[in-house]
């Protein structure tokens, strides 16, 4: 239901009935107070100007009558309706005093000098009471206009803040030194590489620079088992699990099956990404890229459209990177293992160093010396103790096992080293 800025609500709404009831209660209180005030003041006037007055006959001839003053004050205080009520009570007191003086009530209405006071009481109540009512109505209208003006000022202030932010973002996108069109050209050139890790790094560069993304992840799609598996995550620890069942996440079904971009809404779960888009190869979704955490303004329509453009632009490069990984897997890793060969591992460390300089993403390296286990034994240990994003390499010439832990603090690296040492038994050095 839309707010009406404190004005009277629609009579059909539920909030109108309590307000109407309160209004009626206030009216009853005003009537009671008015009657009590009139009774007390009338009693005081009657006692002073009639009962204890030695010249009580003057009570029905006073030019500026105290009862007239009372009616004027009550009308200015309570308005037309209660002013007439006050005039009626004053008229009854005046007639009662006329009766106590022994005058004939029939003659009362034949003499103008007698009933002119009654007419003055009611005329004063109508004139001053109407003035009071018009003044109250004017004040009510002015207050309503003030509330509307304050609401409009607040809305305009909010619009001004948003427009300033959008203007700053647009200015940064067009002429900023870090986010200029020249930067886009540089990234486009970098995406022409065939090295998967280079392409992943540059993809993160685009999203971090232009979308203010803090955590970005890429999941490969396992259609046979109905899961998406974490392939790469850069930024923070992330809010999403490493394996997600597609059937349990409507946004994944939308991204994978309908091949459209999903974005977080007010009803979205906290563990869902801000943006999620498919990576398509041969009309089939092969991966999903997620912006898990981003700046506050990333949820705007502008950033949504920018994300669509970037993903569409980088889709071909990402597909090429994943295909290259699949084809070159035999060259990079030892046969039937996840142990990488040293030449490729050194390139991987260089890329991780580039990510640290670009994004401030630290990493840890572990070196286990005097490792003379067989490759199957090393592969079993690595599979048991390392995450899917971690990389292991073996140097047979030096008998060294090297472990790369992306986005990992030193304290966690020490725990991994201790577990590897306990499982493999060699002397371990970082």
- Which domain range does residue 198 map to? 181-327
Residue 95 lies inside a defined structural domain of this protein: yes
Task: State how far the alpha carbon of 340 is from the alpha carbons of 87, 149, 397, in Å.
Answer: 104, 68, 14
Residue 291 lies inside a defined structural domain of this protein: yes
Residue 73 and residue 134 in one domain: yes
Residues 131-159 have a mean pLDDT of 89
Report the C-alpha gap between 277 and 259 in whole angstroms. Answer: 8
Total structural domains within the chain: 3
pLDDT bucket at 176, cuts 50 / 70 / 90: very low
Q: Which of 307, 327, 347 is a domain's end point?
A: 327
Residue 384 and residue 362 in one domain: yes
Determine phi and psi for 389, rounding to 5 degrees.
Answer: -85, -10
Higher pLDDT residue, 328 or 117? 117
Residue 3 lies inside a defined structural domain of this protein: no
Residues 76-80 have a mean pLDDT of 86
Nearest one of 264, 223, 222 to 240, comparing CA atoms: 264
Please tell me the pTM assigned to this model: 0.45
| pLDDT value of residue 3 | 39
**pLDDT for 298 beyond 70:** no
| pLDDT value of residue 148 | 92
Residues 247-255 have a mean pLDDT of 88
pLDDT tens digits along 5-25: 333 444 444 444 454 554 555
Mean pLDDT of the chain: 76
pLDDT > 70 in the chain, percent: 73
| pLDDT value of residue 335 | 73
| pLDDT value of residue 5 | 36
| pLDDT value of residue 177 | 42
Report the C-alpha gap between 153 and 396 in whole angstroms. Answer: 73
Instruction: Find the range with the poorest average confidence among 247-261, 286-300, 312-326, 332-346.
Output: 312-326
Residue 144 lies inside a defined structural domain of this protein: yes
pLDDT tens digits along 333-389: 777 777 888 888 888 888 778 777 766 667 888 888 888 788 788 888 888 777 766
Running DSSP on this structure, what letter comes out for residue 55? T
Residue 166 lies inside a defined structural domain of this protein: no
Residue 249 and residue 340 in one domain: no
**pLDDT for 156 beyond 50:** yes
| Residues 105 and 99: beta-carbon distance below 8 Å | yes
**pLDDT for 402 beyond 70:** yes
Determine phi and psi for 288, rounding to 5 degrees.
Answer: -130, 130
Running DSSP on this structure, what letter comes out for residue 110? T
**pLDDT for 295 beyond 60:** yes
Residue 289 and residue 351 in one domain: no
pLDDT tens digits along 92-144: 888 888 888 877 776 776 676 667 788 888 898 888 888 888 988 898 899 99
Most confident of 171-175, 186-190, 337-341, 354-358: 337-341
| pLDDT value of residue 25 | 55
Report the C-alpha gap between 205 and 213 in whole angstroms. Answer: 9
**pLDDT for 157 beyond 80:** yes
Residues 147-153 have a mean pLDDT of 91
Residue 288 and residue 189 in one domain: yes
| pLDDT value of residue 146 | 92
Which CATH number belongs to the domain containing residue 424 in this structure?
3.30.70.270
Running DSSP on this structure, what letter comes out for residue 332? H
Residue 190 and residue 296 in one domain: yes
Q: Which of 153, 171, 197 is a domain's end point?
A: 153
Report the C-alpha gap between 413 and 224 in whole angstroms. Answer: 34
pLDDT bucket at 425, cuts 50 / 70 / 90: low
Residue 297 and residue 348 in one domain: no
Residue 372 and residue 322 in one domain: no
Residue 142 and residue 51 in one domain: yes
Residue 368 and residue 318 in one domain: no
| pLDDT value of residue 407 | 65
């Amino acid at each position: 239901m839309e707010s009406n800025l404190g004005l009277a609500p629609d009579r059909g709404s539920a909030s109108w009935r309590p307000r109407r009831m309160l209004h009626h209660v206030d009216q009853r209180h005003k009537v009671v107070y008015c009657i009590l005030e009139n009774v007390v003041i009338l009693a005081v006037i009657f006692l002073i100007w009639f009962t204890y007055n030695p010249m009580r006959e003057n009570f029905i001839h006073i030019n500026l009558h105290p009862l007239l003053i009372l009616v004027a004050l009550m009308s200015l205080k309570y308005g037309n309706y209660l002013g007439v009520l006050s005039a009626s009570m004053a008229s009854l007191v005046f007639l009662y005093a006329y009766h106590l003086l022994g005058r004939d009530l029939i003659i009362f209405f034949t003499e103008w000098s007698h009933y002119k006071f009654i007419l003055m009481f009611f005329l004063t109540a109508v004139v001053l009471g109407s003035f009071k009512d018009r003044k109250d109505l004017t004040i009510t209208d002015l207050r309503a206009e003030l509330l509307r003006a304050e609401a409009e000022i607040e809305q305009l202030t909010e619009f001004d803040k948003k427009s300033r932010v959008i203007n700053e973002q647009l200015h940064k996108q067009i002429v900023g030194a870090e986010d200029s069109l020249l930067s886009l050209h540089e990234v486009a050139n970098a995406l022409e590489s065939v090295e998967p890790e280079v392409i992943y790094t540059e993809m993160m560069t685009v999203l971090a620079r232009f979308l203010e993304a803090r955590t970005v992840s890429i999941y490969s799609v396992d259609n046979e088992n109905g899961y998406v598996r974490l392939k790469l995550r850069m930024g923070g620890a992330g809010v999403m699990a490493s394996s997600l069942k597609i059937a349990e996440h409507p946004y994944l079904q939308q991204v994978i099956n309908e091949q459209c971009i999903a974005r977080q809404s007010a009803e979205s779960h906290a563990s869902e990404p801000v943006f999620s888009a498919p990576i398509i190869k041969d009309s089939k979704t092969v991966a999903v890229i997620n912006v898990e955490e981003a700046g506050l303004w990333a949820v705007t329509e502008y950033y949504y459209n920018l994300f669509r453009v970037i993903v569409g632009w980088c889709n071909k490069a990402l597909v090429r990177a994943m295909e290259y990984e699949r084809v070159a897997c035999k060259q990079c890793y030892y046969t039937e293992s996840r142990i990488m060969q040293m030449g490729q591992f050194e390139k991987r460390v260089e890329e991780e160093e580039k990510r640290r300089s670009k994004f401030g993403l630290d990493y840890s390296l572990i070196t286990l010396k005097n490792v003379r286990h067989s490759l199957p034994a090393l592969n079993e240990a690595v599979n048991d103790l390392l995450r899917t994003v971690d990389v292991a390499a073996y140097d047979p010439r030096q008998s060294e096992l090297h472990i790369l832990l992306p986005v990992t603090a030193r304290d966690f690296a020490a725990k991994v080293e201790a577990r590897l040492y306990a499982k493999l038994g060699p002397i371990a050095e970082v």
